[in-house]
Structure 1
Amino acid sequence: MGAGETLITAKDDTANFSISQRLRAQIESSQRAVKNAQDGITLMQEADGGIQSIVDNLQKARSLAIYSASDAITDSDRATVNKEFQMYIDEINRQSQATNYNGKQLIDGTGEQSLKFHVGANEADSISFNLPTVTADSLGVTGTSVATREDAENALSIFDTAVLRLGVTRSDIGAFVNRLENAEGYTQIQNNNNSAANSKIKDIDIAEGSIAMAKEKIQYEAASVALSKSSSGNSAAAALLQLGI
């Protein structure tokens, strides 16, 4: 008896062996599914971080629009402010392109944005999320300007809409991350339960194993004693015959 396992091959106990094999398949699948959920969480957090950076740039550009909408500055001042304003719009596109996970573009519209994560051991255990395209074009801020007071006033409403839209997007991402975390926790519990069940099937109690070994030893020793006595008796009979008794 090696490591205390009762199941070595199917011939030992066909029914329990079959159950154990199914449990092992579930355990391995669950372990992969937990990793899938963890990877999904990381991916979604990467997307959220990129969007947050874009929101930061939108807010900085909006503050310049407020500044330029005031008649307290000159047209020359507005021209200088507009250069900085355009830099923030360019940064939105740069950040969009830089947001990726494992080489997969997430929010610039060039990658697969309909995402599916298999987070359980069974075929139906998957959840999906559609990442939006987040670029200056998609947000409607391309072509905006603060070179004049009128342009700055128009830009304000456009940027307000963009910030609100991304606020909703980030809330959706946060809710989906919660789903992934819940799926990860549930699948891990299933995995632990399956592992415990498999151990009960495969592993025998050490005490029972020791008793079984002791019983086998006693039986072996008893058989040896009986054989020894039988051999001694046969030898004595042969000697008597030789003496003519």
Structure 2
Amino acid sequence: MRINHNISAMTTQSSMYKINRDMSKSLERLSTGLRINTAADDAAGLGVSENLRTQIKGTSQAMRNAQDGIAAISTAEGAANEISEILQRMRELAIQSSNDTLTSTERAYTNQEYQQLISEIDRIAEVTNYNGMKLISSSGTNANERFGIGGTGTATGSALWIDANSTYGNDSITISIDTLTTAELGGGSGNTLNNTYLTSQTDANDAILALDEAIDSVNTMRSNMGAFINRLEHAINNLTISNTNQQSAESLIRDADFARE
């Protein structure tokens, strides 16, 4: 008796195995929406896709960090704006007190308001903070903040990271936010604001000099903060474009083609 192999059946079985395997893979891709679910699906493609995913997560967090930086600077700028308004009022009082027509009693009344405004400037400087980080007070440790455009390496001190691919220090943005207490304002050619009074005509004239310097300092700082905000906004725009392109590239590599499946 001769036993023959059923070649047709074996071929059919092999074909069915391949069809079932391919169908299972297709169902997996359709259910997950991904062309690459395991390294075996496309080893090279998986490596590229994972690298892109790392960059996407980095740039996404970088954009949030840059927005935090803008929020922090905007908080400081808002306080500086109010201090600027107070300085203008103090200058009005100083000019009024420098007038020969005022008596010493009237100057004393003017000086009372003047000293209260000095105290208010110091109060604003002390309470202005972002997430507990004091921004314009010398009692804080964050008067000069570094906003880095890098996401690897070890950061020391307070830092807000903006980008995701550079090493710390190579692409950092150092934002200098000056201390705006009355002990720091003025003083370039005379007394600092906390040592100015309006009790006499001479004192009033000295106060005017200190106030002019203080106003210039605040204006310069506000201008710098505005420039930094614009710079961070451009950084966010660039990161947004980069993030979109990275997501598009990652999608082309990893996502399933539903029409093909």
TM-score range, shorter chain: 0.7 to 0.9
Deviation digits for residues 86-144 of structure 1, max 9, x if unmatched?
01111110010011000111111122223222211213454221221110010020110
Corresponding position: 1:44 with 2:77 = no
Match of 1:241 in 2: none
Alignment pair present for 1:152 and 2:152: no
User: Given residue 184 of structure 1, which amino acid in structure 2 is its aligned partner?
Assistant: I
3-state SS of 2:175 partner:
strand
2:195 maps to: 143
Residue 203 of structure 1, CA deviation: 1.7
For structure 1, which runs of at least 5 residues remain unmatched after alignment?
210-245
- Report % sequence identity: 38
Question: TM-score if structure 2 supplies the norm length?
Answer: 0.77
Whether the 8 Å contact between 2:35 and 2:257 is mirrored in structure 1 is: no
Q: What pairs up with 1:33-182 in 2 under 5 angstroms?
A: 33-109=62-138, 110-117=140-147, 118-124=161-167, 125-139=171-185, 140-182=192-234
Residues in 2 aligned to 1:143 and 1:116: alpha-carbon distance in whole angstroms: 32
Is 1:25 aligned with 2:54?
yes
For residues 87 and 67 of structure 2, the distance between their equivalents in structure 1, rounded to whole angstroms, comes to 30
- Does the 8 A contact of 1:120 with 1:126 survive in 2? no
Does the Cα contact within 8 Å between 2:137 and 2:143 map onto a contact in 1?
no
Pick aligned residue for 2:249 from 169, 173, 197: 197
Gaps of 5+ in 2: 1-26, 148-160, 186-191
Query: Where does residue 22 of structure 2 map in the other structure?
Result: none
> How many Å separate the matches in 2 of 1:119 and 1:153?
46
Counting matched residue pairs gives 209
1:73 is displaced (CA, Å) by: 1.7
SS at match of 2:163: coil
Higher helix content, 1 or 2: 1
Q: Does the 8 Å CA contact 1:64/1:81 hold for their aligned counterparts? A: yes
TM-score, structure 1 normalization: 0.82
SS where residue 206 of structure 1 aligns?
coil
Describe the superposition over 1:160-216 as per-residue Cα deviations: whole angstroms up to 9, x where unpaired: 11101111111111101111111111111111110011110112322211xxxxxxx
- More displaced 10-residue stretch of structure 1: 25-34 or 199-208: 199-208
Deviating beyond 3 angstroms after TM superposition, the runs of 4 or more aligned structure 1 residues are none
State the Cα RMSD in Å.
1.2
User: Which residue identity is paired with 2:176?
Assistant: N
Contact 2:100 2:201 in 1 (8 A): yes
Cα distance in 2 between the residues matched to 1:103 and 1:92: 19
- Bigger drift between 107-116 and 159-168 goes to 107-116
Letter matched to residue 142 of structure 2? E
Q: 1:126 to 1:75 in 2, by over 3 A?
A: same
Of structures 1 and 2, the larger Rg is shown by 1
SS at match of 1:129: strand
